[in-house]
């Protein structure tokens, strides 16, 4: 990927200073691996396909993009390898970048920035640019799709790096006036959203002609002469895509005037009014298809070609993406805090509920512990107010039960008691209550305590965000350090082959020794392969192996490493104790037993071993697991065997 070009008409030194203010939105996981791989000139289609296969969601979007070329000159694309050949490496790299950012930045801390609305708009930009490029041939359609998807990345960057300050800018900006907002951004951050977008695209290796289009499309009259250069066509196309997105995002009362502006934007590109409105209908259809594929909100839009409007109506807008204050179709990401009130006294529940509803909380009520448990699972409230004096102390039993669940550990619990007795308070805290109040409930004190709870919940969210960052970083390391070549990959399942597994085993062993963490190995052999081959031939064997591979993908974590050799699979589970791996192995055996090929029902024998400080090398771990596999087969097949002296003695902190 190339460095930012000196030809780009922005101050790149200023951008370097801006970058120093925080971590810019960047690709992660498989997307990062794809971008790293495409830097190498000798990367093969097979190697890139093997990386992409580890992320089924991205693979599906890539195939969709290849089929969306719309030229009718190639047969439908049904495989990753074919999609890579149709799209080419630059487009694949940019698609990986765009979809990675979409997955990682659906929410954020900028209160005035509507993240869902931002991505809906970006998706319309992308589809519109792809279809406009199919008509104008100004650039490859798939690369234009990526340009549309990322053309407003500067908005997201400001919301990510400076959520509080940027929210202030958005609140003060006049709705729809991007140029005035850009000036406010320069005063506050030294750079505007468009300048940041252009600099980031250039830094990611996007051609400068695209970055210049991003820099200029919001101010077409001021910056673009009436000529038909490639730069002018691309910039005007992006401006037109921007206006199409704007019409789709506006309420019905303001759409007519915006459509007139849209037609005015289309005329310099050679469109007649009817032609551009018909194209907009196709863009909306494509937007809905993509929205379903990438889980971005879309909504019904009246057909452009059926709209009637007053040509004399003056245009009311100068720029597209609506910000805070403009009427919206998409609900804001900001949702009221959800509170579950659990108690047997309906009058008390009603009294507390009225206080909280007035303060903007969203309320659910339950009269008993069982009903409360069901509502806690279904609604996943941030706060629970529970009576500690429910019959048979079922209120405290509910809290204990709640704290044993993953969901319940992060919920803030406020207990209501009749007395401030030392034993009663101690018992409540031991059960898992975070704070308590005595009856009768004072509304002012209640709201003050809930406000304090919001600070605690905010800290929890920050901690969880930090954990997510660590997990993402670990995924990046895994993807960058373990790029298996085509020679190390099993073509039938996409897993590592024996050669690839040997490398993975040495790497995982070294990491386990370095960090003093447990590493478990599971070896799996399908029992009926010989009978399947006799009954159904090689095709039946391939079917059994593919279905077994699908079971393993579903049953294991993304960081677990899987390999296949003949009818045998090997799995490495880092951070997983022997006891936890045993449970996983039993689940795998049960799921494999549900597979039927021809008239034969599949079964499997499994052997386990764990690195516990006694084994001398990685090979000994694998051989110990193979010994347990042999024992499982000798004892009648269709079972899991572990070293008896270690079974059930230890628990891993990072269980599967």
Q: Token digits for 146?
A: 């990526």
Domains contained in the chain, number? 3
Range of the structural domain that residue 424 is part of? 338-459
Sheet holding 362-366, edge to edge: 362-366, 338-342, 383-387, 412-417, 435-438
- CA atoms within 13 A of residue 451's CA, in its CB half-sphere: 7
Residues 425 and 301 in one domain: no
Mapping DSSP onto H, E and C, the string for 244-269 reads HHHHHHCCHHHHHHHHHHHHHHHHHH
Residues 275 and 387 in one domain: no
With pLDDT > 70 as the criterion, what percentage of the chain qualifies?
A: 81
| Confidence band for 410, pLDDT divided at 50, 70 and 90 | confident
Residue 193 belongs to a domain: yes
Residues 229 and 377 in one domain: no
How much is the pTM?
0.48
Residue 572 belongs to a domain: yes
Taking the alpha carbons of 292, 296, 302, 308 in that order, is the dihedral positive or negative? negative
Residues 414 and 493 in one domain: no
Residue 30 belongs to a domain: no
Pure H helices in 361-442: 369-379, 394-403, 422-431
DSSP sequence for 268-314: GGT--HHHHHHHHHHHHHHHHHHHHHHT--------GGG----TTSP
Residues 438 and 510 in one domain: no
Low-confidence winner among 175-179, 264-268, 478-482 (lowest mean pLDDT): 478-482
Place of tokens 């008239």: 599
Which pLDDT does position 182 carry in this prediction?
86
Mean model confidence pLDDT for the chain: 79
Residues 346 and 199 in one domain: no
Return the CATH number at 554.
3.30.70.270
What is the chain's Cα-based Rg? 29
Residue 541 belongs to a domain: yes
Residues 293 and 151 in one domain: yes
With b for 16 or more beta-carbon neighbours within 10 A and e for fewer, the 36-67 pattern comes to bbbeeeebebebbbbbbbbbeebbebbbbbbb
- For the segment 539-553, the average pLDDT, to the nearest whole number, is 90
Contact between residue 335 and residue 114 where contact means Cβ atoms under 8 Å apart: no
Whether 477 has a pLDDT exceeding 70, the answer reads no
- CA atoms within 13 A of residue 510's CA, in its CB half-sphere: 6
pLDDT digits (tens, 9 = 90+) for 1-12: 334 444 466 766
Which pLDDT does position 475 carry in this prediction?
46
Residues 366 and 426 in one domain: yes
Residues 455 and 547 in one domain: no
Which pLDDT does position 467 carry in this prediction?
60
Return the CATH number at 404.
3.40.50.2300
Which pLDDT does position 378 carry in this prediction?
64
Residues 135 and 245 in one domain: yes
Phi-psi region of 495 (alpha: psi -120 to 50; beta: other; left: phi over 0): beta
Low-confidence winner among 28-37, 275-284, 348-357 (lowest mean pLDDT): 28-37
Contact between residue 274 and residue 305 where contact means Cβ atoms under 8 Å apart: yes
Q: Which of 70-74, 187-191, 434-438 is predicted most confidently?
A: 187-191
- For the segment 486-493, the average pLDDT, to the nearest whole number, is 78
The domain boundary, picked from 306, 325, 358, lies at 306
Mapping DSSP onto H, E and C, the string for 86-107 reads HHCHHHHHHHHHHHHHHHHCCC
Residue 180 belongs to a domain: yes
pLDDT digits (tens, 9 = 90+) for 10-29: 766 777 777 776 778 877 77
Low-confidence winner among 455-464, 470-479, 517-526, 581-590 (lowest mean pLDDT): 470-479
Residue 194 belongs to a domain: yes
With pLDDT > 90 as the criterion, what percentage of the chain qualifies?
A: 17
Residues 385 and 448 in one domain: yes
pLDDT digits (tens, 9 = 90+) for 309-342: 444 443 333 333 333 333 333 333 445 788 888 8
Residue 54 belongs to a domain: no
Residue 546 belongs to a domain: yes
Residues 454 and 488 in one domain: no
Pure H helices in 105-206: 115-136, 141-150, 153-161, 163-172, 178-189, 193-203
Low-confidence winner among 308-312, 625-629, 650-654 (lowest mean pLDDT): 650-654
| C-alpha to C-alpha distance for 386 and 416, rounded to whole angstroms | 6
Return the CATH number at 129.
1.10.3210.10
Q: Token digits for 117?
A: 């609305």
């Amino acid at each position: 990927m190339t460095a930012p070009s000196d030809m780009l008409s922005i101050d790149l030194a200023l951008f370097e200073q801006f970058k120093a203010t925080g971590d810019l939105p960047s690709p992660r996981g498989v997307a990062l691996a794809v971008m790293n791989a495409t830097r190498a000139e000798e990367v093969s289609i097979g190697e890139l396909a093997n990386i992409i296969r580890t992320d089924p969601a991205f693979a599906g979007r890539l195939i969709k993009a290849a089929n969306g070329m719309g030229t009718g000159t190639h047969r439908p694309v049904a495989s990753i390898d074919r999609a890579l050949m149709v799209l080419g490496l630059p487009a694949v790299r940019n698609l990986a970048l765009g979809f990675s950012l979409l997955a990682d930045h659906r929410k954020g801390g900028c209160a005035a920035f509507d993240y869902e609305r931002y991505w809906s708009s970006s998706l319309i930009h992308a589809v519109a640019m792809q279809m406009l490029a199919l008509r104008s041939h100004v650039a490859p359609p798939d690369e234009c799709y990526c340009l549309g998807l990322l053309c407003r990345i500067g908005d997201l960057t400001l919301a990510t790096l400076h959520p509080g300050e940027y929210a202030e800018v958005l609140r003060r900006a006049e709705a729809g006036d991007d140029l005035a907002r850009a000036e406010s951004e320069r005063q506050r951050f030294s750079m505007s959203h468009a300048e940041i977008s252009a600099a980031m695209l250039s830094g990611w290796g996007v051609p400068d002609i695209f970055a210049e289009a991003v820099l200029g499309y919001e101010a077409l009259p001021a910056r673009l002469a009436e000529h038909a250069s490639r730069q002018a066509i691309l910039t005007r196309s992006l401006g037109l895509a921007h206006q199409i997105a704007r019409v789709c995002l506006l309420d019905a009362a303001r759409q007519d005037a915006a459509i007139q502006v849209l037609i005015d934007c289309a005329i310099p590109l050679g469109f007649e009014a009817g032609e551009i409105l018909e194209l907009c209908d196709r863009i909306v259809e494509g937007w809905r298809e993509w929205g379903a594929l990438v889980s971005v909100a879309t909504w019904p839009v009246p057909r452009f070609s059926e709209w009637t409007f007053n040509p004399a109506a003056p245009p009311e807008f100068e720029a597209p993406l609506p910000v805070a204050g403009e009427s919206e179709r998409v609900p804001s990401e900001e949702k009221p805090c959800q509170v579950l009130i659990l108690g047997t006294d309906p009058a008390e529940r009603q009294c507390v509920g009225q206080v909280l509803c007035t303060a903007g909380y969203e309320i659910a009520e339950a009269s008993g512990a069982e009903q409360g448990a069901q509502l806690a699972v279904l609604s996943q409230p941030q706060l629970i107010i529970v009576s500690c004096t429910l019959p048979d102390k079922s209120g405290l039993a509910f809290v204990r039960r709640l704290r044993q669940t993953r969901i319940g550990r992060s919920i803030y619990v406020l207990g209501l008691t009749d007395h401030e007795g030392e034993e009663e308070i101690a018992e409540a805290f031991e059960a898992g209550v975070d704070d308590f109040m005595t009856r009768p409930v004072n509304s002012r004190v209640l709201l003050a305590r809930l406000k304090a709870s919001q600070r605690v919940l905010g800290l929890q969210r920050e901690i969880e965000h930090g954990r997510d960052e660590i997990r993402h970083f670990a995924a990046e390391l895994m993807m960058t350090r373990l790029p298996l070549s085509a020679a190390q990959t099993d073509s039938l399942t996409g897993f590592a082959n024996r050669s690839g597994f040997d490398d993975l085993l040495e790497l995982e062993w070294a990491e386990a020794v370095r960090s003093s963490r447990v590493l478990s190995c599971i070896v799996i052999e399908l029992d009926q392969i010989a009978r399947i081959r006799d009954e159904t031939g090689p095709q039946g064997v391939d079917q059994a192996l593919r279905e077994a591979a699908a079971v393993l993908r579903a049953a294991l974590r993304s960081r677990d490493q899987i390999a296949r050799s003949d009818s045998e699979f090997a799995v490495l589970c880092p951070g997983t104790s022997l006891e936890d791996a045993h449970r996983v192995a039993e689940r795998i055996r049960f799921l494999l037993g549900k597979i039927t090929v021809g008239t034969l029902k599949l079964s499997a024998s499994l052997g386990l071993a764990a690195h516990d400080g006694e084994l001398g090398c990685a090979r000994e771990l694998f051989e110990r697991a193979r010994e347990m596999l042999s024992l499982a087969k000798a004892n009648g097949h269709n079972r899991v065997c572990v070293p008896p002296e270690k079974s059930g003695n230890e628990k891993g902190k990072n269980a599967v």
